[in-house]
Amino acid sequence: MILQDIGMVLVSSSRSKAYLQILLKHDIKPSHVIMIDHQRETLLPGQRISDVSQSQEIKDSSVPKKKSQDYFNPEEQLIETLTKHHISHEIIYSQDVNNPHVISALKNRREKYFIYSGFGGGILKSDILNIGKDFIHIHSGLIPSYRGSTTIYYSILNENKCTATAFFLNEHLDSGDIIKIKEFPKPKNGETIDFIYDAHIRSLLLLEVLQEYIKIGAFKRRAQSAQQGETYFIIHPVLKHLAILTCKK
């Protein structure tokens, strides 16, 4: 089914691929996709080589070559998925989600809600947040306890588990109304966290959020306090390595 009131803003990344593939697996399509392409082979945060390369000969050795029913296919190009499944889409060439062309494209769309999966570290500014659309983000951390960056690693170190939170974006970091929270076990292979497991758990929560929306015709939402919780910054490589090692035990 096509969700007439829901679109997506995507970049070519493992996360975006996971989002789209899991929805299609459950016969759910967004009404429209705005794809942001920076048109370079240089990697932006959140991307791997196979996200920007059109060559089928270039492979990333960190990606498992065998698919299972639990994991998506990170080798498939995002544009290939969109085209193959006849999903309405447009491409905007930029590396900034706040680009005026992106804002113009959003204003011209009828959809009220947009699922956002941008480049790592990209923050939606007031110009785009105030156009009358609601942006849904899936964060790999428990909100408000784990706001900020690389929170999946801090969660593993502190709590020996992972959590994902779906919420609406606003002008404050990870402080918008919460839609749904879901806990997950830490992965068995810590080397898959950045580009496989993180995207996987986010996509599972997104699926549940949209299935509930289909069932009741609305998003459940509850406000959170911007004063509560804690903000984390990019984890130190030593701490990241320790978190990965705990997944092998």
CATH assignment at residue 135: 3.40.50.12230
Predicted pLDDT at 22: 96
pLDDT score for 56: 31
% of the chain beyond a pLDDT of 90: 80
Q: What is the pLDDT of residue 62?
A: 39
Q: Which residues contact 50 (CB under 8 A, 6 or more apart)?
A: 58, 59, 60, 63, 74, 75
3-state secondary structure 96-163: CCCCHHHHHHHHCCCCCEEEEECCCCCCCCHHHHCCCCEEEEEECCCCCCCEECCHHHHHHHHHCEEE
Give the pLDDT confidence of 40-61 residue by residue, as tens digits: 656 666 666 666 654 333 333 3
Domain housing 51: 2-246
Structurally, the chain folds into a number of domains equal to 1
172 pLDDT above the threshold of 80: yes
Strands 178-185 and 231-232: unpaired
pTM of the model: 0.91
Q: Per residue in 73-115, pLDDT tens?
A: 888 999 999 999 999 999 999 989 999 999 999 999 999 999 9
> Residue 145 pLDDT > 60, yes or no?
yes
Per-chain mean pLDDT for the chain: 90
